[in-house]
Structure 1
């Protein structure tokens, strides 16, 4: 072999390494390729133990998710189902190493509700808007983009895109019939206490609140001037060869008019119904894109700068970035596991876990939520 050929091979290998070609990316509707645990230096017995653990620790709520939702949020005043729901399947999941399937369980093609995992997809739509300069900077005030009164007033006018993305905006108001103070209220006090409490200063306190997340979705719809499911499909899901089965719903009455066209404003979760309905395999594709830092094969779909911002801890909560949970040392730390792990999490035990240090993507459906740390510890123990 001559020196020119060797140089070409060296360049190709370097290019492939930089572009993430050490990973496998499945084509649309392709049976996901696997590799043996031995090839990827994984202890098959311990991996099987982790999978059995997931199968044996199913989320304890009803498989009729309408019942599970109403039970799970019964303490919220005025809570009701406002959008589509779907009865769920049993436990399911996938474990990818370098993009290859090393373990799976349940029906990975079944489309189910995914609840607040939707938030990480919503955050990504914001990232696409930043990458395309539709939003100049996440520190910009949202009122400079949305002038219809949603961000009027002394308090709401202070809110930035970053505040919305980190769930520390303390946006005050009502959207689609949902009142900000009625969503996940404090354990103590009564309705009047919650209703008349003075809003926190934006950027100071994280409050998990779907009304405010839906304000972000509404605002992004107006920035993009088209429904967010179309944005996600055209700019990302089609590019990662996702199936045609996923759907992103809004509340039944959540319509807005843009450029003379009525369009649905979707939700960032499912605790009143709606949100993202998606298969385990499509969730895994989304996770693989993030594992590869925004590249799918040789194409960059999401900037590395955005991903870095999305997984930077917020000041009010070290375990939360731009709608991604972070495994930093805080109240949600999984002890003994890398602090660089980050993940999307949803009601009922829906998770997409990204472990860059070990080249892992782990997806779980309907795992008892308080078992995720133990499950990931078992997965980690299988790595030689």
Structure 2
């Protein structure tokens, strides 16, 4: 009997220890489920039941019970009733995860949007697509490649779009998704944010050697040597832990912070700029905060991405979500249709010129595609590269905007091709090497 009691006591202590160390994670689990449900339902117009059943069917997140409150434009989630979190949606700003400090959005202004009348087909307009048959494209083979990828239930591809010579030559969506469905780009948003600096550079309003510390961000010491170039290349030397499976810098920022621009800025230096390369979502949100300080008013800051980039090239579906302090979450929260994500890729394919309207210089392309030291040729300036053959069978000039769960915008200048893939499952380099290779082989 005594042995049984000791065994039960040890088990109880073990459960208490496990609970003690995992209880804070519940905050992150319910926070993710709440935020993701609110954005998908109110922003993307998806069904709450399917989001819970499919999108949240992943490790730990599946433990959360998330529900929609349509009267409040809100979503709540908890894990067995513990640590409930609430996200609220506001038109023009997206959904935001509230906390003890803020129960809702704490500001009222929203971005001003401009939509021009449509008279042109994709990509320079939204009035349909060209139906010209290109003789060097094997459409039957391309259809087979795209259909096979979409039907693979393991890879969970949601959309595939291939643009060649400005024409959509292949487009495929899984059930429940169409050309009008907004899809979260996750870290593809980083490339959107980086492009805003390319526009400011072209307009001679900022340079890449600009030092935001200490004058703008209020700190002294080694941080004062950090430049925009270092931040865009993820080589600032600031400490950062990008781990989504535990309580880390990135999960605290995304699911606990009211102001996401401060998380990276407040961290210590662990190396001098350029000595290390360390991928950091906190760096992208720091850049969003620096961007805000380039404008006199909050309204000007909110308007800038839309007037100078997004609406300017007709990406009318795109929305950049903000944090509770009204900063764009440039690391993660950009939404757009697959076709509009393709337009962004085409802007780069055309070296910054959009049907005669130049947004940034050709030198900017060379800048973002120059390999960053210590990245093994895989990273430029807020874009990913194939400079050293990460994808061995694909052109070395390929570069891309990459996001969590395999979101991609591939830009391949030597082939005059842009390919967009969205999904719910991360793909390996080998899988992308095969998929993109198969697509390119359909163009003779």
TM-score, structure 2 as length reference? 0.62
Pair 1:141 & 2:208 matched: no
Alpha-carbon displacement from aligned partner over 1:177-236 (angstroms, at most 9, x marks no partner): xxx973389xxxxxxxxx998612211211111112211110011114446552121112
DSSP-derived class of the 1:379 partner: helix
- Counterpart for residue 123 of structure 1: 194
The separation in 1 between residues aligned to 2:240 and 2:373, in whole angstroms, is 24
- Counterpart for residue 305 of structure 1: 363
The separation in 1 between residues aligned to 2:200 and 2:414, in whole angstroms, is 28
Give the gaps of 5 or more residues in structure 2.
Answer: 1-120, 242-246, 253-265
Candidates 184, 208, 221, aligned match of 1:113: 184
Larger Rg computed on CA atoms: 2
Candidates 376, 380, 387, aligned match of 1:321: 380
The separation in 1 between residues aligned to 2:189 and 2:168, in whole angstroms, is 23
The separation in 2 between residues aligned to 1:269 and 1:138, in whole angstroms, is 19
Q: What root-mean-square deviation, in Å, do the aligned CA atoms of Structure 1 and Structure 2 show?
A: 2.8
* Bigger RCO (CA 8 Å, 6+ sep): 1
The separation in 2 between residues aligned to 1:200 and 1:30, in whole angstroms, is 51
Contact 2:237 2:272 in 1 (8 A): yes
Pair 1:232 & 2:305 matched: yes
Task: Report the number of matched residues.
Answer: 297
Contact 1:217 1:266 in 2 (8 A): yes
The separation in 1 between residues aligned to 2:395 and 2:312, in whole angstroms, is 30
The separation in 1 between residues aligned to 2:154 and 2:129, in whole angstroms, is 26
- Structure 2 matches for 1:194-205, cutoff 5 A? 199-205=270-276
Pair 1:183 & 2:261 matched: no
Candidates 209, 216, 233, aligned match of 1:166: 233
The separation in 2 between residues aligned to 1:294 and 1:196, in whole angstroms, is 34
- Counterpart for residue 348 of structure 1: 405
The separation in 2 between residues aligned to 1:196 and 1:211, in whole angstroms, is 10
TM-score, structure 1 as length reference? 0.71
The separation in 1 between residues aligned to 2:281 and 2:151, in whole angstroms, is 30
Give 1:121 deviation, angstroms. Answer: 0.3
The separation in 2 between residues aligned to 1:314 and 1:184, in whole angstroms, is 26
Pair 1:212 & 2:212 matched: no
Contact 2:188 2:408 in 1 (8 A): yes
Give 1:57 deviation, angstroms. Answer: 3.9
- Structure 2 matches for 1:1-384, cutoff 5 A? 26-36=123-133, 39-57=134-152, 91-106=158-173, 107-135=178-206, 137-143=207-213, 146-149=215-218, 152-171=219-238, 182-183=249-250, 199-225=270-296, 226=298, 228-243=301-316, 245-251=317-323, 253=324, 255=325, 264-270=326-332, 275-317=333-375, 318-329=377-388, 333-366=390-423, 368-370=426-428, 371-384=431-444
Give 1:59 deviation, angstroms. Answer: 6.9
